[in-house]
Structure 1
Amino acid sequence: MNLSPQKKGSFGRKILAIFYSIFKRSRYFKGNARQLYSLTLDYLLVQLNLNQDIPFLFVAVIVGLLTGYVAVVFHDAIRTVSSMSFTDLRSVFKTIHIAEYWTFMVPFISAFGGLLVGLYNAFVVKARPGHGLASVIKAVAQNDGIIERKLWFHKSVTSVLSIGTGGGGGREAPIVQVGAAIGSTVAQMLRFSPNKTRTLLGCGAAAGLAAVFNAPIGGVMFAIEVLLGDFSVKTFSPIVVAAVIGTVMSRSYLGSSPTFSVPEYSLVSNTELLFYFFLGVLAGLSAVMFIKIYYSIEEWFQRIEKRWKIPVWAMPALGGLMSGLICMWLPELYGFSYEAINHAVRGNEGWHNMIGIYFLKPVVAALTVGSGGSGGMFAPAMKMGAMLGGMFGKIVHTLFPTITATSGAYALVGMGALTAGIMRAPLTVILILFEVTGSYEIVLPIMFAAVTSSLIARLTYRHSMETYVLEKEGVRVGYGIALSVAEHISIARVTKTDFVTFTISESAVNMIDTFFNTPESSFLVTDTDGQFSGIIGLDEMRMLLKSESLAGLIAEDIVKKNVPVLYDSTKLDEALKLFEITDFDMLPVLDENNNVLLGVVRQEEAFAYYRKQLNLYGSDEYENLKS
């Protein structure tokens, strides 16, 4: 059969055909205008098929553009409000000849900003503010990446007011949350699936962080390492695209200069790595101190609010007043100011400021944000870490001047190490600081100290800045998995009985014959009563195959007995954690009463089942599984 060639202008006719079909349907539609709009949008989305990989990349570009532009406006708005609140207002005081009272006026500026934030949340948003990044992680883990559509605007307004009037929070985490909300909103408008919605949320978060720090690689790693935990190509590609676009937007308006003015540093000697290790240990302990101070103050605010029945809208004003009383004596504590970090990384910061900022920065941040204000913990952690590194660097450089760099290098490394300890995300911090500095040699100490800090913080205190509040809200996130979903699912759901067993008296010849005639790579060993004894894996089989004589060898001689086990009463979350922290790809399931082997759980099947239930979270099917 001869096919007619495609006629010129067929694409235009297809577009006309789509609109014709819409208008034709509208003549017979009996609903209201809102329902017609919804139906029309659904029809257009089906025709455009944006869920496909290539069209989805164009949506990621849109999210990157929107987030990058909002980040620029956000940056300029904070600068404008801070200039009006301090520089312009102080000029007014000088004009009317009352400049001597300016110092006593400063705390009331922060209090006024807190009051505006409290009133806005109480009467416009009509809800208590969430916990920044923790709320984004919760949306990913429990809510299919869905965030309230107006959150990006509300968060932008409250953050600008809070930070611009002298609040102690940082601007980086709010723009990440704003970007995540923009990505989620776009996904909801285009009716995307839960997986695509979470990916677009990550696109917005990556674009926001990349735009603020001028660090696209760090933004990508943050979205993947901290928020999504998904390194697949389908997730990775659109996030990279969005981060690049967000960075380009930021550079177009704010320039390509780095966030911090950092001189060139290098590793003076290999011995110096020992000092960076000790700095990593101190940073990990300091990160734990930061987290505990912050949440102690936040919980104190919650107690006095209930005890004294203080209106919710007044709490941020109280926190702003208290933080302002501290900042009036140490202005470097303000959230909009990065002068202390710039001085520290150049080695010019004095001892008085470094000691004061190190101990008071978590207090000021907690007074502002913990009382109901707005801001993030990224910048406060970096500022505290820079002071720690600066003090440590001055000491070691004084004692060992020939084998150590100046204090500025240690301030830079300390800044990254303490932030890694608080977030438990060393890869993100390493990449951000690499992009900020543009120096490869200083990355080696940063890597060493950041990983050390993250490990020390994890060993010392099990909560990160985000997981503490998430567990209080009933969301358990650990080892890269949302444990609040898996902890309700019985291990029986993923237990299989198709496995190969040996008795402890099985001969080596039979075991080798079975090994070559079955696809299994792990074999379970039981005693004569069916009780579990251990596992024979590839390592043990390799030993058998290399043995010169198999005579007399039995399973009991080579079985690995130190094996983690599951019981029939175990929940899925315990199995997932064991798979994450051990090298086993198959675990035995035993009877809790007599240790008789009942079945096995395979790693791939367990995680596949978990991901399926995560997508079903909140549905009737999931509730039936819980019950």
Structure 2
Amino acid sequence: MVNLKQKLALRLNPMRFGASHFRRRLAYNDALPQISFLGFVSGVAAALVIVAFRSLFEIPLEHWLPGGTAESFENLDPIWYFFLPVIGGLLIGLWLMLFAPGERKAGVAHVMDRMAYHQAKMPIKNTIVQFIGGSLAILTGQSAGREGPAVHLGSAVSSQLASAFHLPNNSVRLMVGCGTAGAIAASFNTPMAGVIFAMEVVMLEYSIMGFTPVIIAAVTATLLHNNLYGAEMAFMAPDISMADMREMPLILVYGVVLGAMAALFTKTVTSIQNFASQPVLARMLVAGTFTGALAYFVPQVMGMGTDSILMAIEGQYAIGLLVALAFAKLFATAISVGLGMPIGLIGPTLLMGACAGSALGHISGYVLDGPTSDAGFYAMLGMGAMMSAVLQAPLAALIGLMELTHNPGIILPGMATIVIANISCSYFFKQDSVFIEVLRKQGLDYQANPITQALNHQGVISLMHDDVSHHYDDDIAGYLSVADLGVSWLIINNRDDQVDHVLHQSQIHLDQSSSMGLIEGAGSPTVAFGFCSSRATLKEAWDLCKKRDYKQLLITDVDGSIMGVLPVEEIVKYMQKD
């Protein structure tokens, strides 16, 4: 009975519900209640920022454009097909000139860069650039998607919340993943695709502990966004399916064609990046002018393109327009992204695939004898294949295709087309994910090393020894008293209260009558030590130890006080454990 009361008292201790205990628990990779709460917070934050972002451009467009929707740019007077993107390029260029080159980086590639090299800490100025720059691009009819800015904004607001509350860096990374999932889920009303996109494209990992908060974030963001903004789908695809299994060989051939198109898109983006050193105003004007020139002949290239996707699926475009729109969208988007315009590319990728797939569907009617599937069926296959090959994310593409079309009949042929397109793009044409290729062009390498991921999952507090005691070198009595209490680590300060040595209790051999100091009693060791923030991950601690050849790290709290000691051997043991 006494033990039960003691356990209950321990569980209900008010200290367990404080901010300090919450932050400390997050350093461990089994803090499921805490990270689940963070997933909920990230989902709410992502939904709110996506609602604000969409409202900034959709409400004005619905009032300005003749068709009364945010996508009806083709209903404008033809002169605006050219001049609106040019004016947009000018405005975006002037906006970007207000910021330093490093502050202009935006989009999914920027999120991945911050995840890999900056512990997922997202700068506020880049977020402002993305919010305004992305809105200007969509408002002025650039060939742009909203999901790239959405991922940046959802990730950034989650990261900045984590930093504001001094959460450990392993939690910041997780919240960025949650923000990514929430942003994709809210933008397209596709919570499953949001989860898989975050894990497959940005975080590059699958784990039970990672899935749980990311799922919570996606569900929360979708529900809140739908309540605030409406639960409409991006488009309502008709219920069509494959007419005959004899079409499968041709579908596989089309997978190769779509993989080649994806490779062309990625290669164009990275080739245009060679002009990144040119003045930003000139680059934005070139991007706007190129888009405007294409839009003058193919006005459907303007905007996000969800209305054109539906038209392609419903078979309302002739084969000539489908081919022209597919390649116009490809080059307009690739050149704009390569020149640094803060836009998304997933939406345009879906339109490219829908148009190319629909065109190939028309061709099937001439090639095959007997019944063939509707061109809209091929358009849906093209959407999944193009998205998968460009992002090198087959599972995210398949799940997204299912959620966008609500058509289970698409699964089998969709899987086949997606796999073939992926293999063609990566193996035959040597193109990785467009985001990874963009980062490589910037001199950055984005790899998912299992050991690195494991070290990033836990904070330094999880392996830290907190049984420490501070002493001066001649404090023999103090040492003996804490030794009786089982304190293992002694921090030896000089008279200026600066740390001189870090000693383990087992190193010291003294008694009350000894005339030696603690350092001499430990054999005057010369073990290198350094300081590390309690917010750091084990990866940061390991990198610091390797760089400075530290054998011990003193872990400091947010106020600078020493919380404990982390010997480098503990990190080595963690990496070597099964």
**Given the two structures, how large is their TM-score scaled by the length of structure 1?**
0.66
- Corresponding position of 2:223: 248
1:581-596 equivalences in 2 (<5 Å)? none
Q: Which amino acid aligns with 1:469?
A: V
Given that residues 285 and 456 in structure 1 are in contact (C-alpha distance below 8 angstroms), is that contact kept between their aligned partners in structure 2?
yes
- Structure 2: how far apart are the matches of 1:257 and 1:416? 21
Q: Could you give the per-residue CA deviations for residues 83-106 of structure 1, whole angstroms, max 9, x where no partner exists?
A: 4665499xxxxxxxxxx9943344
Question: Partners of 1:357 and 1:276 in 2: how far apart?
Answer: 21
- Partners of 2:316 and 2:192 lie apart in 1 by 30
- Give 1:48 deviation, angstroms: 7.0
| Matching residue's letter, 1:152 | T
Shift of the alpha carbon at 1:249?
1.8
Query: Which residue is 1:362 aligned to?
Result: 330
Instruction: Check if 1:209 corresponds to 2:188.
Output: no
Q: 1:342 to 1:105 in 2, by over 3 A?
A: closer
Q: What is the aligned residue count?
A: 455
Taking the aligned partners of 2:2 and 2:327, their CA distance within structure 1 comes to 82
Aligned partner of 2:255 among 270, 274, 280: 280
Q: How far apart, CA to CA, are the structure 1 residues paired with 2:329 and 2:352?
A: 6
CA contact under 8 A between 2:23 and 2:167: conserved in structure 1?
Answer: no
Return the match for 2:201 from 226, 230, 254. 226
Q: Which residue of 1 aligns with 2:58?
A: 79
1:333 aligns with 2:301: yes
Separation of aligned partners in 1, 2:398 and 2:260: 19
Aligned equivalents of 1:219 and 1:282: distance in 2? 27
2:544 match: 619
Asked if 1:191 corresponds to 2:157, the answer is: no
Q: What is the Cα deviation at residue 242 of structure 1?
A: 0.1
**Contact preservation (8 Å) 1:269, 1:404:** yes
Q: 1:470 aligns with which of 439, 442, 446?
A: 439
Unaligned stretches of 5+ residues in structure 2: 69-74, 454-535, 551-578
Alpha-carbon distance, 1:226 to partner = 1.0
**Partner SS, residue 409 of structure 2:** coil
Preserved CA contact (<8 Å) 1:264 1:439: yes
Tell me what 2:88 maps to. 113
Mapped contact 2:47–2:183 kept (Cα < 8 A): yes
Structure 2 CA distance, aligned partners of 1:266 and 1:274? 16
Correspondence for 2:563: none
| Residue of structure 1 equivalent to 2:42 | 63
8 Å contact kept, 2:81–2:299: no
1:60 to 1:207, Cα distance in 2 relative to 1, 3 A: same
Return the alpha-carbon distance in structure 1 between the equivalents of residues 4 and 426 of structure 2. Answer: 68
Q: Does 1:140 align with 2:115?
A: yes
Higher relative contact order (CA 8 A, sep 6+): 2
CA distance in 2, matches of 1:120, 1:146: 23
Determine if contact 2:452/2:539 at 8 Å carries over to the other structure.
Answer: no
CA contact under 8 A between 1:82 and 1:165: conserved in structure 2?
no
Could you tell me how far apart the structure 2 residues matched to 1:173 and 1:101 are? Answer: 26
Find the counterpart in structure 2 of residue 103 from structure 1.
78
Equivalents in 2 of 1:253, 1:205: separation in Å? 19
CA distance change for structure 1 residues 5 and 272 in 2, over 3 Å: closer, same or farther? same
Q: 1:388 to 1:337 in 2, by over 3 A?
A: closer
Residue in structure 1 matched with residue 356 of structure 2 by the alignment: 388
Instruction: Tell me, in whole angstroms, the C-alpha distance in 2 between the residues paired with 1:298 and 1:84.
Output: 36
Taking the aligned partners of 2:52 and 2:291, their CA distance within structure 1 comes to 26
What residue number does 1:347 align with?
A: 315
* Cα distance per residue 1:512-552 (max 9 Å; x no partner): xxxxxxxxxxxxxxxxxxxxxxxxxxxxxxxxxxxxxxxxx
The one-letter code matched in structure 1 to 2:145 is G
CA deviation profile, 1:292-326 (whole Å, cap 9, x unmatched): 22233342x446x3xxxxx4334313321231122
Q: Report whether the alignment pairs 1:402 with 2:377.
A: no
Q: Work out which of the residue numbers 247, 254, 267 in structure 1 matches 2:242.
A: 267
Choose 129-138 or 429-438, whichever is displaced more.
129-138
Does residue 1:461 correspond to 2:436, yes or no? no
Answer whether contact 1:294 1:362 (CA < 8 A) is retained: no
User: Does the CA-based 8 Å contact 2:305-2:348 persist in structure 1?
Assistant: no
Query: CA offsets, 1:548-599, max 9 Å, x none?
Result: xxxxxxxxxxxxxxxxxxxxxxxxxxxxxxxxxxxxxxxxxxxxxxxxxxxx
1:482 deviates by 9.1
**What is the rounded CA distance, in whole Å, between the counterparts of 2:211 and 2:11 in structure 1?**
32
Supply the distance in 2 between the matched residues of 1:467 and 1:482 (Cα, whole angstroms). 18
Please give the per-residue CA displacement for 1:359-382, whole angstroms capped at 9, x wherever unaligned.
Answer: 211221134333332211111211
Q: What are the superposed Cα offsets for residues 235-275 of structure 1, whole Å, 9 maximum, x if unpaired?
A: 11000000001111222234333212211122322222222
2:430 and 2:64 map into 1 onto residues whose CA distance is 39
Preserved contact between residue 271 and residue 338 of structure 2 (Cα < 8 Å): no
Q: Normalising to structure 2: TM-score of the pair? A: 0.71
Aligned CA RMSD, in angstroms, stands at 3.4
Deviations 1:393-451 (A, max 9, x none): 01112433634211000001011101111110000000011111222111111111111
Determine whether 1:292 maps to 2:260. Answer: no
CA–CA separation in structure 2 for the residues paired with 1:624 and 1:123: 42
Point out 4+ residue stretches in structure 1 off by more than 6 angstroms: 1-6, 10-13, 482-485
Asked if the contact 1:284–1:453 (Cα under 8 Å) also holds between the matched residues in 2, the reply is yes
How many angstroms apart in 2 are the aligned matches of 1:4 and 1:288?
64
Contact 1:271–1:403 (Cα < 8 Å) also in 2:
no
For 1:413, the aligned partner's letter is L
Q: Give the percent of matched residue pairs that are identical in Structure 1 and Structure 2.
A: 26
* 2:472 equivalent in structure 1: none
The answer on whether the counterparts of 2:106 and 2:126 sit within 8 Å (CA) in structure 1 is no
Query: 2:22 touches 2:34 (CA, 8 Å); kept in 1?
Result: no
SS at match of 2:407: coil
Q: Which amino acid aligns with 1:289?
A: L
